[in-house]
Structure 1
Amino acid sequence: MKATTLNLLNVKSVPIRTFWITSIAFFICFFAWFGIVPFMPDVVKDLGLTPAQKWNSIILAVTGTVFARLLIGKLCDKYGPRLCYTWLLMIGAIPVILIGFVQTPLQFLICRLFIGFIGASFVITQFHTSIMFAPNIVGTANATSAGWGNLGGGANRLGMPLIAAAVVSFGVADEIAWRYSMVIAGIICFSMGLVYYFFTKDTPEGNFSELREAGSMPTLAKDKVPFASALKDYRVWILFLVYAACFGMELTVYGTMDDYLQNTFGLERTTAGNIVLSFALMNIFARTLGGFFGDGFGKLRGLRGRVLFLTAILMAEGIMLSVFSMTTSLVIGILFLVAFSLTVQMAEGATFSVVPFINKKAIGSISGIVGAGGNVGAFLAALFLKSKSAVAESAALKANASLGEEAMKTAQAMAASDAVSSGYFIIGAFVVLAAVASLAIKFSTEDEKEVLREMGGELKLSTVKAD
């Protein structure tokens, strides 16, 4: 039976045990995926990376994830989340370990590309929780597992230096500690794959292979049919756009926020980095809130209620970012940045409170497509901000070339701040447009009735307004 509550202490329950294991696995994947980030100054020095190669490594890591997320969703529908996560963790551990042995920039870039594949772990986590929890709680479960897993991308900024410090205490040279740290992260990934295989099941009733043999998997059609139907469903591509507008923008904004806070408000790098890290840690509760309210609106107004909440919170996200881009006061700016962090993460949770209801025969495929949308959004937004900033900085340096090095640095910082500020405003406007587009997501009366049946008639059909 699917779990109808998120009782985190009931680890004997298959859904709850799976929730914990999949959340931890997701955390470890994100920890390893971004594990090299705190060591980039050491990597640049050790391998002699150029600025272009450094940027390319970031882009390759995101690019690899896009294709992996599209593929893994389809594989989940066919083979089940247990085997998919096991193999992703164990195979994904290989490039994480190998990056500790690279000797050239090209080898480093190749490893970063393949390390990005473990970012597909998000799709498996969302798929696994979607089939473990009932409609009344699935949004909360999805959002919480995703939020806690995402913490790995921020925790590595603290955890990886601690691992490096431990390695150095055993006599390893400080400048190569990053290599040992990545090897250790890879071994942890591999070990988690074994845990996933032996301690989880595909569904509350058992594994896909067992259910197929028993002939008790009526919702699963041939592999090609669900994926084809997912590709043809306009709602999937709206959610692709929506996730690009929330998770994609979160990645981009936090990836550029350190420099923006320094250039705009004159903060020290450490202070700016700590502020950004603290906002990333809001994933502990903010995503959960998005899923929780998505479920709540679902109880009040059915599937349409979930969509309406998603629209509202996404629109709030865009407004918060655009207003933040125009602030010149540090205090006011921080307030709106907090509001943006809260709303963007709630929008991510709300997105995956809708995804499980689009097509129950293709939850994996749809999760993969929507999840890839986040990385596509991050990729395009990063290129947009990079191009705007590069043009503005080059013009500023050229205009102030005769005024001395200090004046040139100041002009460059101001130009970068103005360029990114206007970029944030435009991105905020894009998010608002994506929110409006989400209103086009519709569900049939039969879809609403099916949810009610699955919930055992907990809601009255009269409360549901189907389109």
Structure 2
Amino acid sequence: MENSTSAKATKFDLSNLKSIPVRTFWITSLAFFLCFFAWFGVVPFMPDVVKDLGLTPAQKWNSVVLAVTGTVFARLLIGKLCDRYGPRLCYTWLLILGAIPVILTGFVQTPLQFLICRLLTGFIGASFVITQVHTSLMFSSNVVGTANATSAGWGNLGGGANRLGMPIIAALVIGFGAAEASAWRYSLIIAGILCFTMGLVYFFFTKDTPEGNFRELAETDDLPEMKKDQVGFLTALKDYRVWILFMVYAGCFGIELTVYGTMDDYLQNTFQLERITAGNIVLSFALMNIFARTLGGFFGDRFGKLNGLRGRVIFLAVIMMVQGVMLSTFSLVANLYVAIAFLILFSLSVQMAEGATFSVVPFINKKAIGSISGIVGAGGNVGAFLAAMLLKFKSAASEKVAIAANQGMGEEVIRSAQAAASAQAVSEGYLLIGVSVVFTGVVALAIRFSVKDEKVAQKELEGSMANAVPANA
């Protein structure tokens, strides 16, 4: 763009750090990464936490549920706050306040204290919504899908990087003289301090829009389009397209969380892999976020150029159906190498679907981007919760039957039968989920835009393409 202080970026040139949109992209992606890193930071240490605090299996499971529950409500709230106060202040306070329960987790002494901290820590999962709002405000329609997808994908890496990063931090802490039993506590305290520091960086080095901050623009009566004539949160709730996208995101991001959360055990029980081998396979697919989400946003933008807003919807629907077919097929495969091939295709398609979802979101209602992003983002966590419940209950029921059928046959026989029953139950669950995702893809085709919306989007696209030169400031 010709003047970065008066217009959105029209090129996705991440090397141009003088550009306000690009600089904001890097900061918001890093903030998102740190939030997810801290949110899931306790996962590699759960065996130590269980031992240290004496958690029961039920309390361990409840800690997972509470962390997800906190995120659902936070995402619904934070979107509306972004529309009112701007993403800069919202992210600043989310990082600073969200750092507190992360740090306090390092000081807990009882299971109840741990569960409370996990619930409150889940609120930093709302960072995804702010990141999507901020990149939507910074990039023009011809590249907004790519920008949203890339920032989300790179931020999501924090949820996988902790598997490597947190143990490294723990090793460094032990190297400085800390007791090994307390290393998990120091690691979480450090993760919380990083989030707090990032909150200060966000406040001093970002702006709400390329034109300036919401508060400054309000004083000069020069608010961006979305700030003028704000629509209410209830208006966003009444738009059927928002709820279809809620379902779509539940069917892509929610399913990705659940599948990867259960895949370690499934690979071990089905293909008799070692835990380390299975874990490395799952981690490698999580790392596909480096590029897979970006592809979804990129193709969403490309279809948008070719076929308007309808083109974005068609691509989203198709990639969702592909995702469902890949997961369903994976669930039926008995050969390890063929299964890995379909798991790769599933990982690629599910992350592309996530990127494609937020190439559509910014065009539903530009005056309520935050509220809509929050509702859709919450759908991901709801989908993860429902899918996890399905797999948990199917597996528990099958294992109970297997144990009863092999009673008195010896511990090893019972354990083997239990693992086989669990694998079969999860396989059936994957198949059912895959079919549901295909159905969701079909439903996505019901998303429609008016002729006026299409004309406005086309005019904006033409303006973006005409000014598509690198930003300078």
Q: Is TM-score (shorter-chain normalized) higher than 0.5?
A: yes
Aligned equivalents of 1:437 and 1:146: distance in 2? 24
- Does residue 49 (structure 1) correspond to residue 55 (structure 2)? The answer is yes
- Report what 2:357 is aligned to: 351
1:129 to 126, 135, 146: 135
Q: Which residue does 1:40 correspond to in 2?
A: 46
Structural mapping, 1:172-251, within 5 Å: 172-217=178-223, 218-221=225-228, 225-251=231-257
Q: Corresponding residue for 2:154?
A: 148
Residue 106 of structure 1 corresponds to which residue in structure 2? 112
How far, CA to CA, are the matches of 2:410 and 2:458 in structure 1? 70
Say which SS state the counterpart of residue 360 (structure 1) adopts.
coil
Please say if residues 10 and 465 of structure 2, whose CA atoms lie closer than 8 Å, have aligned partners that are also in contact.
no
Q: 1:30 aligns with which of 36, 40, 43?
A: 36
Partner residue, 1:90: 96
Instruction: Work out which structure has the larger RCO, using CA pairs closer than 8 Å and 6 or more positions apart in sequence.
Output: 2
Partner of 1:464: none
Q: Please name the residue that 1:416 is paired with.
A: 422
Question: Partner letter of residue 349 of structure 2?
Answer: T
The SS at the match of 1:216 is coil
**Whole-angstrom CA distance in 1 between matches of 2:451 and 2:9:** 25
3-state SS of paired residue (2:342): helix
Q: Which SS does the other structure have where 2:273 is aligned?
A: coil
Whether the aligned pair in 2 keeps the contact of 1:290 and 1:348 (CA below 8 Å) is: yes
Partner of 1:14: 20
C-alpha deviations, 1:294-314, integer Å up to 9, x for none? Answer: 000000000000000000100
List 4+ stretches of structure 1 deviating above 3 A. Answer: 456-460
Structure 1 Cα separation of the partners of residues 430 and 389 of structure 2: 13
Q: CA deviation at 1:188?
A: 0.2
Distance (whole Å) between structure 1 residues aligned to residue 121 and residue 58 of structure 2: 19
Tell me the equivalent position of 2:405: 399
**Contact 1:320–1:340 (Cα < 8 Å) also in 2:** yes
Residue deviations 1:63-107, cap 9 Å, x none?
000000000000000000000000000000000000000000000
Aligned-residue offset at 1:453: 2.1
Letter of the structure 2 residue corresponding to residue 205 of structure 1: E
Q: What is the DSSP-based 3-state SS (H/G/I as helix, E as strand, rest coil) of the residue aligned with 2:138?
A: coil
Question: What is residue 332 of structure 1 aligned with on the other side?
Answer: 338
1:291 maps onto 2:297 in alignment: yes
CA contact (8 A) 1:452 1:459 kept: no
Amino acid at match of 1:219: M
- The reply to whether residue 79 of structure 1 matches residue 58 of structure 2 is no
Conserved 8 A contact 1:226-1:361: no
1:430 is matched with which residue: 433, 436, 444? 436
1:332-368 deviations in whole A, cap 9, x for unaligned? Answer: 0000000000000000000000000000000000000
Q: Where do 5+ consecutive residues of structure 2 fail to align?
A: 1-6, 467-473
Would the aligned equivalents of 2:85 and 2:214 in 1 still touch at CA under 8 Å?
yes
Residue 401 of structure 1 deviates from its aligned partner by: 1.1
Q: Supply the RMSD in Å over aligned alpha carbons.
A: 1.1
> What is the count of residue pairs matched by the alignment?
459
Unaligned segments of structure 1, at least 5 residues:
461-467
Please, what TM-score do these two structures have when normalized by structure 2? Answer: 0.96
Aligned counterpart, 1:158: 164
Asked if the contact 2:81/2:370 (under 8 Å) is kept, the reply is: yes
Aligned-residue offset at 1:454: 1.9
Cα distance in 2 for partners of 1:18, 1:457 equals 22
Contact 1:299-1:459 within 8 A present in 2 as well: no
The residue aligned with 1:5 is 11
Distance 1:66 1:219 in 2: 24
* Distance in 2 separating the partners of 1:267 and 1:56: 28
